[in-house]
Structure 1
Amino acid sequence: MSEEKQTTDWAAWSRESVEMMVAKNAEWPRQFGLQGTPAYRWDLDSATLVMNGPLHEVVATVCLVGTTSDSEGSFLWSWANEAIPRQHGEALEVVHDFGRENQLSLLTTPRIQGGRPEATECLCIAARLQRAMGTFIDQQGDVTLYFTILHLQIAVDSELRPN
């Protein structure tokens, strides 16, 4: 019995990844009462993103997938950036492995020429492979950070807990 090798249209698969994240990114803010543009703060060391909704805070566990630099015109994967805490690169190992197994240089090349479109594609592919709930993008001056949202929960206010 010969096994037929299945060929995947990676361009279509990638577009589908982006479409999946667009749909998920429309859903999770609604689900957690975060319409509009809530105030937020992220912390790379704890891999958290805290968003302030009108009724409560929402805490996300995130993975920094990578960064773009407007001045350099490139996207750098977190696993290739020594300035990023190691847990982010470890959370991306599933993406790196997938890229190696399928000879997808986009997922295995540390620095990719391009900007937001290339970074968004990498982000959405990473989110799909990590089974993320959504994505989050933040700009800090010249650098844009691309996060996958791995887990979301409403923060419990310790002052409101029963004794």
Structure 2
Amino acid sequence: MSTAQQPTDWNAWSREAVENMIASNAQWQRDFGLEGSPPYHWDLASATLSFDGALGPVLATVCLVGTSSQSEGSFLWSWANEAVPQQHGQALEVVHEFGRDNQLALLTTPRIQGGRPEATECLCIAARLQRAMGTFIDQRGDVTLYFTLLHLRLAAAENPLLH
């Protein structure tokens, strides 16, 4: 008797990725004292995101997964966006490769029609495949940026006695 492997239900797999990221996001925010809306600053060139949290400064290594535009009604993967520093696209290669291996157009099409729900799904899939600690979304005017948090740590506070 042979055991045939059932085909993957990609819709269920994707929903699970979103559910996992909701739980992960709540966890890292609690762990690092970042509940609410603490001040933050991201830098694409250094692939960092810093927060001023209740426990002190927190530094994250991030990957910009992509951006969406309300006016265009689309999501653009970072690997397809020449304006995004290359390291972000390189960090997404695992996602792109997974999409190619499994014939998943959502992960291999540079620009996807849709808005925040489609972009959030792409973000959570990327986070799952990158084994990210969580995700972060920021809106700047018409553009929304979708980040995975690859590493988080409390930043060393400066010691004024050393200066």
TM-score range, shorter chain: over 0.9
- Equivalent runs, 1:26-105 vs 2, <5 Å: 26-105=26-105
Q: Would you say how many aligned residue pairs link Structure 1 and Structure 2?
A: 163
Instruction: Give the TM-score normalised by structure 1.
Output: 0.95
Cα RMSD after superposing both structures: 1.7
Q: Which amino acid aligns with 1:139?
A: Q
Supply the distance in 2 between the matched residues of 1:162 and 1:28 (Cα, whole angstroms): 31
- Alignment of 1:12 with 2:12, yes or no, is yes
* Identical pairs, percent: 73
Q: Please state how far the C-alpha of 1:3 moved relative to its aligned partner.
A: 7.1
Give the deviation of 1:142 after TM superposition: 0.5
Residue in 2 that maps onto 1:127: 127
Greater Cα offset, 48-57 or 109-118: 48-57
Misfit runs of 4+, over 2 Å: 1-6, 160-163
Q: For 1:143 and 1:102, how far apart are their aligned partners in 2?
A: 29
Structure 2 unaligned spans of 5+: none
Give structure 1 stretches of 5+ with no counterpart.
none
- Alignment partners' CA distance in 1, 2:127 and 2:80: 18
Supply the distance in 1 between the matched residues of 2:28 and 2:11 (Cα, whole angstroms): 26
Equivalent residue letter for 1:135: T
Could you tell me which residue of structure 2 aligns to residue 145 of structure 1? Answer: 145
- Cα deviation for residue 162 of structure 1 reads 7.6
Look up the SS of the partner of 1:62 in the other structure: strand
Partners of 1:45 and 1:118 in 2: how far apart?
26
Give the deviation of 1:54 after TM superposition.
2.7
Q: Which amino acid aligns with 1:63?
A: C
Superposed displacement of residue 147, structure 1: 0.2
The CA distance in 2 between the partners of 1:147 and 1:35, in whole Å, is 18
**TM-score normalised over the length of structure 2:** 0.95
